[in-house]
Amino acid sequence: MRSDKMTKGVERASHRSLLYAMGMVKEEIERPLIGIVNSANDFVPGHKHLHQIAAAVKEGVRLAGGTPLEFFTIGVCDGLAMNHQGMHYSLASRELIADSVEIMVNAHPLDGLVFIPNCDKIVPGMLMAAARLNLPAIFVSGGPMLAGRYRGNVVDLNSVFEAVGSVKAGKMSAAELAELEMEACPGCGSCSGMFTANSMNCITEVLGMGLPGNGTVPAVAAARIRLAKKAGMRVLELVRENLTPDKILTAEAFTNALTVDMALGCSTNTVLHLPAIAHEAGIKLNLDYINEISERTPQLCKLAPAGDNHIEDLAAAGGIQAVMKRLNEKDFLHIDCLTVSGLTIGEQLAAARILDEDVIRPFDNPYSDSGGIAILRGNLAPDGAVVKQGAVAPEMMKKTGPARVFDSEEDAVAAIFSGKINKGDIIVIRYEGPKGGPGMREMLTPTSAVAGMGLDKDVALITDGRFSGATRGASIGHVSPEAMERGPIAAVHEGDLISIDIHARKLELLISEEELQKRLNELELPQPKITKGYLARYARLVTSANTGAVFKEGQT
């Protein structure tokens, strides 16, 4: 066992002495040592209850004859970090999470790992670590939050963000907003729609790194505790079988993940995270391949923010395994892929059932003939841009309008809330990419403001930053190259016409090539917004969004 380096032989007497100092007994030291990688903290509702999940995992490990050793990672709450300096750190935390897990596991030789994530950057950061370390590993998330109820309506966190815009537009009172904010998030768990956290937890299940139910069993359900115990028990079998992530995270597994992503209508942030995880696994995912999968995969589910259903409804309809069973009816999946259950995808699907065809639609009645996400290209985004097309109103799929240009999220939000944005405008927010942000801030405030003010069917938004999984409307992000890398988005002038054609996958700035090059040649880049600390270092190392915003090779 790998832990023998720390526990066996005369030379390790001092090591054993330190373990005894923690109250361990000889029998514990001689068993397989299992790292419990917990992201619990008191900031994030999705993580508030993870101590309970970890306790169940530990029970499972002990039941199966192992010794659990818990350690912790950081975890940023995107909702709390929104629209202030904190959001610069969210995406950037992903790399720190992966690095910190690597440090702990390689400094203290362990035999297997159970990862307990739940929210936006924590899930991909831990998956990146699992791929990098390649030790037997299994994931069990904290599970999704239940949706809230407000005056007879089903609501969630995004309802509150959009309500702020409604208050600013005079469509809702401050008292009503205060009532809503008390009801939208009724308890622990990752926010209840198909936002980034739930998208990534569902995709973890599809990749084969989590047991069935990982993505959809509610946080407050007893079944979530049972799932945690099973994960703790199962990791010992993974160690004995030497079933490592490289045997699970194959190219075919990533194709499965992208296929289910498109069928579900997941967050655009998956287009950042899946390439980054694949990169750690030695697999290259490019945007054209993502578009290819999107174009051939129908969208079968429409969950909040694109639709009225929430993750609890998907769970009741049969969960991710039911979605995969449906996709397998038309041979959309590689069913020979291995999973941490020890079964192949195909073997797992034998037990799956589709319980609600209003939530998981049949192939003859999809929400769309193509997937929930589309990659756009053109002279404004030669290296690609991303839109959650499944959440775009039909009248906004093709649009031409004047650019309203802002060099920061704050300036754009101020203009939206002060009524300076008109129907037909195309808001451009730049210098918010991985390097320019730095940290590629999430733009839920401006997009929800536009929606809350009733402009989401009239106004588009384009940025080299990114969007929350809770975003809906014609919100086009990840524009690459970003402005701080002298991408064409830096050359847009106020009033320039921009053409969006999501069906044709086109994003064009309607000026001549000569004028575009002239503007870029004359461009003076702004000074970096942050010049010291981790974010300054991050800005020097990070690549563009089209690569997954991973660090430059050889410079980490």
Residues serving a catalytic function are: 468
**90 is written with which tokens?**
């969210």
Largest CA distance in the chain: 76
d(CA 380, CA 385): 9
Residue 213 CB partners (closer than 8 Å, separation 6+): 205, 223, 227, 315, 319, 321
* Residue for token pair 């966190």: 157
- DSSP string for 422-477: -TT-EEEE-S-STTTTTS--B-HHHHHHHHHTT-TTT-EEEESSB--TT--SSEEE
Burial (0-12, 13-18, 19+ Cβ within 10 Å), 189: buried
Cβ of 322: how many Cβ atoms within 10 Å?
23
Report in angstroms the alpha-carbon separations of 21 from 15, 16, 29, 196, 435: 10, 9, 12, 41, 46
State how far the Cα of 307 lies from the Cα of 312, in Å rounded to an integer.
13
Contact status, residue 386 vs residue 478, Cβ threshold 8 Å: yes
Instruction: Return the closest-CA partner of residue 114 out of 76, 62, 61, 74.
Output: 61
Task: Determine the 3-state secondary structure of 16 from DSSP.
Answer: helix
Q: How many Å apart are CA 519 and CA 487, to the nearest integer?
A: 11
* CB-based contact 232:60 (threshold 8 Å): yes
